[in-house]
Chain A
């Protein structure tokens, strides 16, 4: 691992945080595999909750995929910064003069790619277990990758901000979902609507408003990232 020295440039700091996060998760492969297994379990449990007939409906099918995503997101976001805080690496980074915004960006980048690494196999599981028809598959596949990236970006930004806010609080497992879900609601709504739009089996009352949803998906991370940069001094207290 690169030595922590003061005055490293911003991108190097970002990369340092990203690399550390990746190593701390993938050094114990069970962590990533466990998350994937958890998501796969949920994907199997949903048909039992709704019934296998109802799960064939396009809206329920898409809704189930994003609901499982939300559980995965809660697991990921709840563990942000815990390894750094426990091992003292975060204090070291701050003492070494690493830019606080770089730490935040590095962590957000990690969340985006980590979530994607779980979502892509989950997508395969979803296609198989939910009998996604070819027509729906071919219409959703072109948009799913940018959609997942933007969803993860919005989620990661809000999650990273809140992970910093709750870093010195007890009962984080309760606090994080309580704070996170209301703030992330608009990102979820946008992702579900855009994914459901593409399915030819879904009938919408009004005309498509895809551009509004894409605007929201790009706007939310920008707004929260800007807040994160402005409040970075308060977010990372030494």
Chain B
């Protein structure tokens, strides 16, 4: 294992605990510091975890598509971009699952149901399914070059599909029933906005550290496979 790979992994894994502590501070602000919402009561505090998680999920899926496009454009970096896209989709899968879970947990006391065919939740669900299919595709493709090619294409398709599904579910929902969750008339308090922003920044930083850790681990794994196959 080269010194560079080990150095990279150690550097980023050391940042994990500080990033986690930062996130815990942001969560503390959301649970204990900011006041209660007059419409939803205290259960609205789930927003400080659900919204950052959902945004991070979308961010990493779009980044994965960006890596894939870059890999196709710059053939020399194809292998590296594939590893980057793989790590990004990994994160996107986990965070979309978390967005669905936290969305459901928030929906139960708010809407009275665990699931509603809300355009945002539905497009997150579809994105999660495509991410799962990405991982299944990679494990079902034995040849490394084909695996990289197919993976990159699916990463691009996954990102392109997200706005299409959101748009279509939005129209579909408006036909069948009115919005079950209506935005409040007044704008949100600036404190809520501030805490939400703090949580978003903390979550982005934490996912960046996780991405680097996963990326290095994937590089190590693929190096081992390449060495065994004599590539």
Contacts and interface: CB of A to CB of B under 8 A. Distances in A.
Do A and B share a direct contact in the complex (Cβ within 8 angstroms)? yes
Interface of A: 161, 165-166, 168-171, 174-175, 178-179, 181-183, 185-186, 189-190, 193, 204-206, 209, 212-213, 216, 219-220, 223-224, 227, 231, 234-235, 237
B227 interface: no
Given A216-B164, A234-B152, A179 B133 contact: yes
Contacts of A219: 164
A205 B175 contact: yes
Interface of B: 72, 126-127, 129-130, 132-133, 136-137, 140-143, 145-146, 149-150, 152-154, 156-157, 160-161, 164-165, 167-169, 171-172, 174-178
Given A161-B157, A186-B165, 9 more contacts: A166-B150, A168-B141, A169-B140, A174-B136, A182-B127, A182-B130, A186-B161, A189-B168, A209-B174
Given A170-B140, A216-B168, A179 B126 contact: no
Contact of A171 (B140, B143, B167, B172): B140
Contact of B153 (A171, A174, A189, A231): A231
A170 B142 CA distance: 8
Given A193-B175, A206-B174, A237-B146, A178 B157 contact: no
A231 B169 contact: no
B171 A212 contact: yes
Contacts of B178: 205
A166 B160 CA distance: 19
Contacts of B145: 237
Contacts of A234: 72, 149, 152-153
B147 to A, nearest CB: 8
Contacts of A183: 130, 157, 161
A182, A220, A223, A227, most chain B CB atoms within 10 A = A182
A213 B164 CA distance: 11
A165 B153 contact: yes
A234 to B, nearest CB: 5
A39 to B, nearest CB: 25
Given A193-B172, A193-B175, A209-B174, A166 B137 contact: yes
Contacts of B152: 234
A217 to B, nearest CB: 10
B179 to A, nearest CB: 11
A150 to B, nearest CB: 14
Contact of B157 (A189, A204, A227): A227
A169 to B, nearest CB: 4
A97 B153 CA distance: 23
A209 B146 CA distance: 42
A209 B133 contact: no
A178 B72 contact: no
Contacts of B171: 193, 209, 212-213, 216
A189 B172 contact: yes
A169 B167 contact: no
Contacts of B142: 170
A182 B133 contact: yes
Contacts of B169: 189
Contact of B150 (A168, A178, A190, A206): A168
28 contacts: A165-B137, A165-B150, A165-B153, A169-B137, A169-B150, A171-B136, A174-B140, A175-B133, A178-B132, A179-B130, A179-B137, A181-B129, A182-B129, A183-B157, A185-B165, A185-B168, A186-B161, A190-B168, A205-B176, A205-B178, A213-B171, A216-B164, A216-B171, A219-B164, A223-B164, A224-B157, A231-B156, A234-B152
A188 to B, nearest CB: 9
Contacts of B72: 231, 234
A168 B157 contact: no
Contacts of A223: 160, 164
Contacts of B174: 206, 209
B140 A175 contact: yes
Contacts of A170: 140-142
B96 to A, nearest CB: 12
A204 B167 contact: no
Contacts of B175: 193, 204-206, 209
A227 B154 contact: no
